[in-house]
């Protein structure tokens, strides 16, 4: 009996080791370990496409202008933050969209606060 349980446990081990949830999508092709500002600027359209297709951001943001791209320090470490401006948005608190991209080029979310 013990041997049967051990056999089943060993057989299931690889699937448990490699099981994981969804990962953030890659949006930037970075030439080195960390992405450059230019690589992040080029990644903004892909990030917008991912956000709009997932229904997290309205498709009207696809025509917004990139106002700024800068690296900011957060509790979990540095991230690139792309700020988009769409002055046609009626709600003035939602005229700027902040897109967060990790230093490795993975989309990490978006919001209207920048935090």
Tell me, yes or no, whether 80 lies in a domain.
yes
Q: What domain range is 51 assigned to?
A: 24-111
Q: Structural domain tally of the chain?
A: 1
d(CA 91, CA 96): 10
Q: What is the pLDDT of residues 69-81, one digit of tens each?
A: 999 999 999 999 9
Residue 105 φ/ψ, nearest 5 degrees: 95, 20
Tell me, yes or no, whether 12 lies in a domain.
no
Q: What are the residues whose beta carbons fall under 8 Å from the beta carbon of 112, sequence distance 6 or more?
A: 93, 94, 96, 97, 98
Average pLDDT over residues 16-27: 55
Tell me, yes or no, whether 70 lies in a domain.
yes
Question: pLDDT grade, residue 8 (50/70/90)?
Answer: very low
d(CA 8, CA 25): 34
Q: Does the predicted TM-score (pTM) go above 0.85?
A: no
Contact status, residue 98 vs residue 108, Cβ threshold 8 Å:
no
Using DSSP's 3-state secondary structure scheme, residue 13 falls into helix
């Amino acid at each position: 009996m013990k041997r049967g349980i051990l056999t089943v446990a060993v057989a299931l081990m690889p699937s448990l080791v490699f099981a994981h949830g969804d990962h953030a999508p890659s949006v930037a092709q970075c030439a080195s370990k960390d992405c450059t500002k230019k690589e992040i600027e080029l990644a903004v359209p892909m990030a917008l496409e991912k956000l709009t297709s997932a229904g997290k951001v309205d498709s009207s943001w696809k025509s917004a202008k990139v106002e700024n791209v800068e690296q900011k320090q957060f509790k979990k470490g540095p991230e690139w933050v792309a700020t988009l401006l769409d002055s046609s948005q009626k709600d003035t608190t939602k005229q700027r969209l902040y897109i967060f991209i990790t230093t490795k080029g993975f989309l990490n979310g978006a919001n209207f606060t920048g935090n």
